[in-house]
Amino acid sequence: MIKTEICELLDIKYPIIQGGMAWVADAELASAVSEAGGLGIIAAGNAPADWVEREIVKAKEMTKKPFGVNIMLLSPFVDDVVDVVVKHEVKVITTGAGSPGKYMEKFKSIGAKVIPVVASVALAKRMESAGVDAVIAEGMESGGHIGELTTMALVPQVVDAVKIPVIAAGGIADGRGFLAALALGAKGVQMGTRFVVSDECTISLAYKEAIVKAKDRDTVITGRATGHPVRILKNKLAREFLKMESSGATKEELEKFGEGRLRLAAREGDVVNGSVMAGQISGLIRDIKPVKEIIEDIISSAEAMLKEINTFFEA
């Protein structure tokens, strides 16, 4: 049985956390992941605080197990979202796209476990000093807003730089990736794209099918010019966006062009003109299946691999 200190810290069976994906990670997906023994996460994204509050209330009805909320720090509603998670005493708070430093006191006042996503050693160290409980080291294989380092390079460097547990994210979707993350010194994994392609994920079927169809080189990084690089699947929107970037469009023009595109793909199923955020591991994902099966397959194949590895030493 694979157990790490993350299981104890978060009161979960398996050290598997679901990524906090805007427009994707709602109460339904989060409660399914928590029920299956991982940690489900509701993503606040750019949503107003009343939406986040409704999802928290729903998730509490759907599972008695712990779940978390991801706060996207670039959101215009971030202050109100922080107040909502504090009001509902959410057990685990993950953050993305910035530093949660100024909210730490509020989070700690409710005894929440705070786990920021970091994309560098420097931020990981700063977060450790600020008193967070763990960090998620997210490589640029991930979908959505990304940093510059790969998971393979980032995770061991963060592991060596901090004493708190490190969770690996980016490019992980099966038992091999899970075990590789543990070999790098991580105490758990966070997966996004794999959970998008699950039965319980409520986004459009077209979005899930686009990931299933994707091959290894079918993602691209847009938005480098705006200072917010974002990995998405190649489509008409990606081509148009990159063309605008290379012809010198302003940050404002690009931001305006990108507005509402994730919602368009995720909720309306327009995977041609919408932004289909997904990680490089999309090419490995071939089937839409229940969350419980995703998690149990990862654990059982990791355990089988460990047994096999042991036989190498006995020979």
Spatial neighbors of 169 by CB under 8 A, at least 6 apart, are: 19, 117, 136, 137, 138, 139, 142, 151, 189, 190, 191, 192
Using rule CB under 6 A, residue 123 touches ligand TUI: yes
Residue nearest to ligand TUI (CB): 144
Name the residue nearer to ligand TUI (CB basis): 158 or 230: 230
What minimum distance in Å lies between the beta carbon of 221 and ligand TUI? 12
What minimum distance in Å lies between the beta carbon of 253 and ligand TUI? 15
Contact 193, 20 (CB under 8 A): no
Sheet holding 135-138, edge to edge: 16-18, 188-191, 166-169, 135-138, 113-118, 92-96, 67-72, 40-43
Considering only residues 166 through 225, tell me which ones interact with ligand TUI, judged by CB under 6 A: none
What minimum distance in Å lies between the beta carbon of 24 and ligand TUI? 10
Strand partners, 114: 93
Using rule CB under 6 A, residue 98 touches ligand TUI: yes
Tokens for 26? Answer: 């709602």
What minimum distance in Å lies between the beta carbon of 4 and ligand TUI? 21
Sole window of 54-62, 93-101, 153-161, 285-293 interacting with ligand TUI (rule: CB under 6 A):
93-101
Using rule CB under 6 A, residue 117 touches ligand TUI: yes
DSSP 208-261: HHHHHH--TT-EEEE-GGGT--EEEE-SHHHHHHHHHHHTT--HHHHHHHHTTH
| Count of residues of this chain found to bind ligand TUI when the rule CB under 6 A is applied | 19
Using rule CB under 6 A, residue 74 touches ligand TUI: yes
Residues forming the site for ligand TUI (CB under 6 A) = 22, 72, 74, 96-99, 117-119, 123, 138, 144-147, 228, 230, 277
